[in-house]
Structure 1
Amino acid sequence: MGRILIIDDEVALVLLLTDELQSKGHEVLAAYDGNEGVRLAASEPDLVILDIMMPGMNGFEVCRSIRDRVSCPIIFLSARQSEADRVRGLTLGGDDYVIKPFGLRELLARIEANLRREERSRQKPQQQSRLRFGKLELSLKERLVSVAGEPVALTRREYEITELLALHGGQVFSREHIYEKVWGYDAEGDASTVVEHVKKIRAKLAAADPSGDYISTVWGIGYKWTNP
């Protein structure tokens, strides 16, 4: 069972989800605005359910604020149905995007699926604990990237893309393959979000090591890890 943080200004919805999740044995924390949600995110939840359209700090702003400090799955809830909104949410670090109105059973199934995927990720055996590429090092156990001993602040998705490529150096991965591996086969999103994530990874690695060139673009296909 997990600790689930709900951030939504619809009181009736929060109470309904709280009852349903507690009946399944989950611990539930509730916040009715973005600022309170950011504060409660420090409690290390196992999953966050995040509304987008809230007064004050909206869900996109909350996600941006907590994503570097919270590695758990984030499920966006929103009445905004455009592809641009879905891509924005996933690019900011969301793991799933559910459109209101939604079926309660579907949402509960998505919550359980994300929790299971997170648990499998934590239990995945690591054949080696560290990977080194010149100045860059991946610590697989701690899920950290450092350059010359200094940590690089990657989001959860950025780290997972980096690890996937680094573990298969020289192998070309398409955007769709990366999306399926990192977000999961049942995620409802767009592989174009991978492009934005790779841009951010490259920028962060370049800032830490201007001489390094770790991720190469294979035009028309995807990306591969290049050992410096």
Structure 2
Amino acid sequence: MFQGKILIVEDDEDIRMGVKILLEAEKYQVLEAQDGQEGLEILDNSFDLVILDIMMPRLNGLLTCQKIREKSNVPVLFLTAKSQEADKLAGLMAGGDDYLAKPFSYAELLGRVKALLRRYQVYQGKENPKEPVLELAGIKLNREFNEIEAHGQKVDVSDLEYKMLRLMMEHPQKIFSAQNIYESVWREPYFYTCANTVMVHIRKLRLEIEPDPQNPRYIKTVWGRGYRFENPEEL
């Protein structure tokens, strides 16, 4: 059984073949493209990860990633000979999720691949079909219409706050660091100042769903680690 479906977009045939052999040995299904244009023609919603070179003919990796982001949130791992911080930032700003400079070890590549797939499948991912309404301890979250109801009353939250609550309610008791939450909801690189952004939105969520926001029952702070959604009925 395949562990995931990966698209390699790389114009160097030797690298492309080496990566393919490595991933197939780990039970991943792998498809190849030799440039960005061909990769976009192959890519569909069945893929779990794109491994993307930057320097390619016809359509380079940065432009390819931008076009991918127009239709998909699939994780993108850049492989490139460029290793300067400015190049890394350009890749992340184009929509990439991680960056690996050539030459790289296959062990490091495999570690990055597994980490991106795990995060995508757990936080964003390829989930099994679920009921349209998720309900825990009097909190109802509608997965289809981005609506939240707390104790029989509809609450007004932003789209970001809705996504944060959904993330935590779908994985109750799991501790999410500020970085987990930011990268999963904002889909942007995390910097230490982003922790304050997450904290502000957590506070707003508590004001809407907690009977006593100063003593939260649902969205708990785990000091030094992050946040989790607790279902008091299960405690």
| TM-score, structure 2 as length reference | 0.60
- In percent, how many aligned pairs have the same letter? 34
Q: What are the Cα deviations for residues 78-118 of structure 1, in whole angstroms up to 9, with x where unaligned?
A: 11112222122112221111111111111011101111122
CA RMSD of aligned residues (A): 3.5
Whether the aligned pair in 2 keeps the contact of 1:87 and 1:190 (CA below 8 Å) is no
**Structure 2: how far apart are the matches of 1:139 and 1:18?**
42
Name the residue aligned to 2:68. 66
Matched, 1:98 2:103: no
Deviations 1:99-148 (A, max 9, x none): 111111110111011111222224599554338xxxxx6379xxxxxxxx
Residues 54 and 192 of structure 1: CA distance in aligned 2, closer, same or farther (over 3 Å)? farther
- How far did 1:163 drift? 2.1
Task: Determine whether 1:138 maps to 2:146.
Answer: yes
Correspondences of 1:46-125 after superposition (within 5 Å)? 46-121=48-123, 122=125
Q: After superposition, where does 1:177-192 map in structure 2 within 5 Å? A: 178-183=178-183, 191=191
SS in 2 for 1:129: strand
For 1:21, the equivalent position in structure 2 comes to 23
CA deviation map 1:17-54 (0-9, x unaligned)? 11111111111110001100111112531100000111
Matching residue's letter, 2:146: L
Q: Structure 2 unaligned segments of length 5 or more: list them.
A: 149-158, 169-176, 206-235
**Contact residue 7 and residue 51 of structure 1 kept, 8 A:** yes
Matched residues in 2 for 1:193 and 1:7: separation?
34
How far, CA to CA, are the matches of 2:161 and 2:102 in structure 1? 29
Distance 1:34 1:222, change over 3 A: same
Supply the distance in 2 between the matched residues of 1:109 and 1:101 (Cα, whole angstroms).
15
Instruction: Give the length in aligned residue pairs.
Output: 169
Give the distance between the partners of 2:74 and 2:142, measured in 1 at CA: 22
Larger CA Rg, structure 1 vs 2: 2
